[in-house]
Structure 1
Amino acid sequence: MKKLIPLSALLLSACSSVYQVQPDDPYYAPLIPEMPEEGNMVLTGSMFQDVTAQNLYSDIKARRVGDVITVNLVENTTANKGAKNELDKSSSVGLQTPVLMGSPFTINGNELNASIEGDNEFEGESKVRQNNSLFGAISVSVVQVLSNGHLVVRGEKWITINQGDEYIRLTGIIRPEDVTGDNNVDSTRVANARIQYSGTGSTHDTQTPGWLTGFFNSPIWPF
C-alpha cells in the first residue's frame, strides 16, 4: 500500500500538467438576455413598446445583462525586495588549574587547565526585482447587475497564431460611472479583477517543463 502513494502522487502531478485550457468555456460564455414575452407586448400599431424602450435622456453605456464593455488592459507592476542579514557570535570557556592541598594540580610537572574559544559569523544578502506589463483590449459581457448598480463582467478572447493559440480571460466588477461614453474602461478600474494571459500549442509547450520534471520540482518530492 505504501508503494502506491508515490505512484498516485506522480500520476496526479502528470494529469495536472497535461491539462490545457480549452476555448468556449461555458463559464466565460456571454449571457443572452431574455426576450420579452409576447403577452407583455401590446400590439398598438406603433413601433414604440414599453418593454423595449429606453429613456429619452439615457446614453448607450452598458447597464444591463448581456451588454458589452471594452476593457483596456493597462497593467504595469514593479516589485523590488531586498534583504541583508549579518550574524556574529563569539564565545570562550576557560578551565582554571585545580588546587590540591594548597598547590596547583600537575601531571608530570604540567598544570592541568583548558580553554575553548569559538567564533561564528554569517552574512547573507538577497535582491529580487520583478516587472510585469500587459497592454491590449478585451470586450466582456455583463453577466450580473448588483443591487448597487455595479456590473459583474466576464469574458475571454482567443487568437490563433501559427501553430498555437493565445488567450485572455477577465472577470471583475465595474462601476457604471467609470465606463466612458463609448463603453470603454481601464483595467485598473476593475474591482476584484482576475486577468489571465497565456497560450496553448507547441510554442507554449516548449516553455513548460515536462510532467516528470514538474513532479521532481514539486513540494511533494521528499529530496
Structure 2
Amino acid sequence: MRFILPTLLICSGCATAPVGKPPPFSPADRAIERNAMLNPGLPDAIETTALTPSSGASLWTGARGSLLGDRRAVRRGDILTVVIEIDDSAEISNSTDRSRSASQQAAIPQLLGIPQRIDRRLPEGASSGSLVDLNTQSSASGDGSVRRNEKLTLRIAATITDVLPNGVLSIVGQQEVRVNFELRELIVTGYVRPEDITRRNEVTYDKIASARISYGGRGQISDVQQPRYGQQILENTLPF
C-alpha cells in the first residue's frame, strides 16, 4: 500500500511530453490528405474530352496544364487555399422585473349568535370575528449580459479528400508549426462547392459548410496552463 501513492505521483508527472524533448509532430504518412493524393479516383470525363486527338492541332486547349486551363482544385487529391478571416462580435443584454401582492381576509362577526358562543371557548385574545387574515407579497428581478469578441486571420492549404455525388468537395487541412518546445496546430474541415473556389484557387471560411476550425497547441506552455489530472478528477467527483 505504501508504494501506491508514489507510483501514482510518478505516473501523473510522466503523462505529458518527454522531459527535455519538444512535442512530436503528427505522422504525415498517416494523414487523410496523403491517402487522397495516393488514390485520386477515376479521371474526370471533362478532362478526358479535352485531351482527345481532335484538339491536338489547336494551339490552345482546355486542359488543366495549358496556359488558359482551369487549375482550380476540383478532384480528389487536389490542393486549395482556405482563407480564414474571423472578426465577430456579439452583445446580448436582458433584464426582468416582476412583482406580485395579494391580501385575503375572512370573518364571521354575526351568525345566529354562534360566533359569540365560540369566542367563549377560544383562548384569550382570539375571536371568530377575524378568522383569516392573509397577506402575500413576492418580487423577482434578473439581469444578464453576454459579450464576445473573436478575431482570427489565417491561411492554410487544404486537400480534397472526397467528391460527393452532387459535386460538393470534402476538404481537410492540417498544419503544425513548432517553435522551441511549443507546437501550434491548425485544423480545418468542411464541404465546399466548386463554384465557390476563386480563380486564385482560394475559398473563404464563410463558404465552407459544416466548417470545423481548430486553432490550438501543445507543449510546455499549454501543459502548464492546464490543471493536473488529479485536480480534474477531484473537481468532477467532489460534490462541494
Q: TM-score, normalised by structure 1?
A: 0.70
Partner of 1:24: 27
From the two aligned structures, give the one with the greater strand fraction: 1
Any residues of structure 2 matched to 1:17-56 within 5 Å, and which? 23-24=26-27, 26=30, 28-30=32-34, 31-34=36-39, 54=63
CA distance in 2, matches of 1:109, 1:194: 76
Bigger drift between 77-86 and 159-168 goes to 77-86
Q: Which residue of 1 aligns with 2:189?
A: 171
One-letter code aligned to 1:192: S
Closer, same or farther in 2 for the Cα pair 1:111/1:186, shift >3 Å?
Answer: same
Q: Which residue of 1 aligns with 2:223?
A: 205
Which residue matches 1:62?
Answer: 73
1:98-155 Cα distance to aligned partner (Å, 9 max, x none): 5465364366576442422121111111101112222111101111122333221112
1:121 corresponding residue in structure 2 = 139
* 8 Å Cα contact 1:88-1:120 kept in structure 2: yes
Matches within 5 A, 1:12-161: 23-24=26-27, 26=30, 28-30=32-34, 31-34=36-39, 54=63, 57-99=68-110, 101-102=112-113, 104=116, 105=119, 108=124, 111-112=127-128, 113=130, 114-161=132-179
8 Å contact kept, 2:25–2:176: no
Are the structure 2 counterparts of residues 109 and 145 from structure 1 closer, same or farther at C-alpha, using a change threshold of 3 Å?
Answer: closer
Unaligned runs of 5+ in 2: 1-11, 17-22, 42-55, 57-61
| 1:70–1:138 contact (8 Å) kept in structure 2 | yes
Q: Equivalent residue of 2:73, what SS?
A: coil
Greater C-alpha Rg: 2
Identity of aligned residues (%): 25
Conserved? CA contact 1:144–1:153, under 8 Å: yes
Contact 2:39 2:77 in 1 (8 A): no
TM-score normalized by structure 2? 0.66
Q: AA paired with 1:24?
A: P
8 Å Cα contact 1:151-1:174 kept in structure 2: yes
Aligned length: 192
Q: C-alpha root-mean-square deviation of aligned residues, in Å?
A: 3.4
Quick one: which amino acid aligns to residue 23 of structure 1?
S
More displaced stretch, 91-100 vs 200-209: 91-100
Does the CA-based 8 Å contact 2:160-2:170 persist in structure 1?
Answer: yes
**SS of alignment partner, residue 32 of structure 1:** helix
What's the CA shift for 1:63?
A: 1.5
